[in-house]
Amino acid sequence: MGNPSVAAPKSADPYLAFGSEKLLRLHDLMVKARVLEERLIKMSKSGDGFFWIGGPGEEGFNVPLGLQVKKGQGVQYDYLHLHYRSSAIMLALGAPVIDDIRQMRSVATDPYSKGRNFVNHPAVPDWNIVPVSPTIETQYSTSIGTGIAQAHTKTDAITIVNGGDGGTAEGDFHSCLVWANRPALPLPILIVVVNNGYAISTPEPTQHGERSIADWGKVFGMPSATVDGNDVVASWDAVAKAMAYVRKERKPYLLEAKCSRLYGHSSSSGANRIPEADCIQLLEAKMIERGLASKEDFEKVWHANQEEIDRAHQQVKQEPFPEPETIWEDVYSEGLPPSYPTKGGS
Ligand SMILES: Cc1ncc(C[n+]2csc(CCOP(=O)(O)OP(=O)(O)O)c2C)c(N)n1
């Protein structure tokens, strides 16, 4: 037992070391993501959208990840191969809440898919957000491509891929591990798996013989870690460490984040609140305990985000649905861009 009269040094407490300003920024984004997802769920239940799937419960891991991305277009910036629970990453990158609401309502103003894809399936060329696919785990295969491009470029930019635990049983995940670890050309990929313990209704322990998903790193001698994704400061540090390694060494890193799935799988399973650990409640309790913020401070944050999302929702309700004659637009290429090389190569 330590001597209780001797105060622990400030830096020994990771939350105090992090500081209230940075924590409040994380908290605001986490609340924004939660309020947005809860609005999307309500929309799906009230006929103001067709289907919901999203990431409530993952904010504590996804916000720190999004804030540490080197954002931009092209090979000198990070590429993101995300999945359908990545809304908090998008908001941390600066995506406006209204665009997710537009995709939920399938309106023509949805900038990601012009109202044609499921909600939480963004695609943003300006930020290297590769189109999210509803087929699970295929993003691990596409990440190999941008990983190869960045392995051939002098840059500190990296490829980041994330997906679920269930999907790691599929070949795409293993293709990514094999390609990323080829001695001839290691790839600068941060391979993230968010482990929420389920694939729809199938519990992880009934399907995975490996003791932990992060253990796949051992097979390749690749650094790997498991982090409590409900702990926002631990997540920040784990992402910072993993990114620093990939940026510098130009080799892959496997990071598993254990997160809650607070509203079940999707609207198909009811999207009702589930009594699992809530990363926002945990953060608020830790900050209050340490005198870093008050209950009233948090109430203001929740209120301001509710108002922002209300306004955005009201606006989207005024926006048009796609015209039927646009159905074939963007299905096939309209031709090659002028920059495409037509001579040389194969
Ligand atoms: C290739 C493919 N197979 C099956 C499905 C149906 N499906 C949708 S989500 C899902 C479960 C995914 O579980 P996990 O990878 O753990 O991610 P989570 O949804 O828990 O985040 C399945 C099987 C699909 N979309 N794509």
DSSP string, 131-183: PP-SSTTHHHHHHHHHHHHHHTSSSS--EEEEEESGGGGSHHHHHHHHHHT-T
Q: With respect to residue 4, please indicate whether it lies within any of the assigned structural domains.
A: no
Q: With respect to residue 64, please indicate whether it lies within any of the assigned structural domains.
A: yes
Alpha helices in the chain (DSSP H): 14-18, 20-45, 59-67, 87-93, 97-105, 138-151, 171-180, 216-220, 232-249, 279-289, 295-317
Q: What is the pLDDT of residues 210-229, one digit of tens each?
A: 989 999 999 999 999 999 99
Rounded to an integer, what distance in angstroms lies between the CA atom of residue 334 and that of residue 221?
A: 45
Domain count, the chain: 1
Helix (H) or strand (E) holding 198: strand 198-199
Q: What is the pLDDT of residues 192-204, one digit of tens each?
A: 999 999 999 999 9
Q: Which domain range does residue 49 map to? A: 13-317
Q: With respect to residue 201, please indicate whether it lies within any of the assigned structural domains.
A: yes
Say if residue 5's pLDDT is above 80: no
Q: With respect to residue 8, please indicate whether it lies within any of the assigned structural domains.
A: no
Q: What is the pLDDT of residues 290-340, one digit of tens each?
A: 999 999 999 999 999 999 999 999 999 999 999 999 988 888 877 777 887
The CA 134 to ligand 1 mean position distance, Å, reads 8
The CA 161 to ligand 1 mean position distance, Å, reads 15
CATH of the domain at 157: 3.40.50.970
Looking at residue 265, what DSSP letter applies? S
Token digits for 328? 């074939």
Q: With respect to residue 203, please indicate whether it lies within any of the assigned structural domains.
A: yes
pLDDT of residue 3: 41
- Ligand 1, residue 265: give the atom nearest the CA: 19
The CA 166 to ligand 1 mean position distance, Å, reads 7
Rounded to an integer, what distance in angstroms lies between the CA atom of residue 209 and that of residue 211?
A: 6
Say if residue 342's pLDDT is above 60: yes
The pTM is what?
0.94
Q: With respect to residue 342, please indicate whether it lies within any of the assigned structural domains.
A: no
Q: With respect to residue 185, please indicate whether it lies within any of the assigned structural domains.
A: yes
Residues with CB under 6 A from ligand 1: 85, 134-136, 163-167, 196, 198-200, 265
Instruction: Using pLDDT thresholds of 50, 70 and 90, give the confidence band for residue 1.
Output: very low
Percent of the chain clearing pLDDT 90 (strictly above): 90
Q: With respect to residue 7, please indicate whether it lies within any of the assigned structural domains.
A: no
Say if residue 2's pLDDT is above 50: no
3-state secondary structure of 18: helix
Say if residue 10's pLDDT is above 70: no
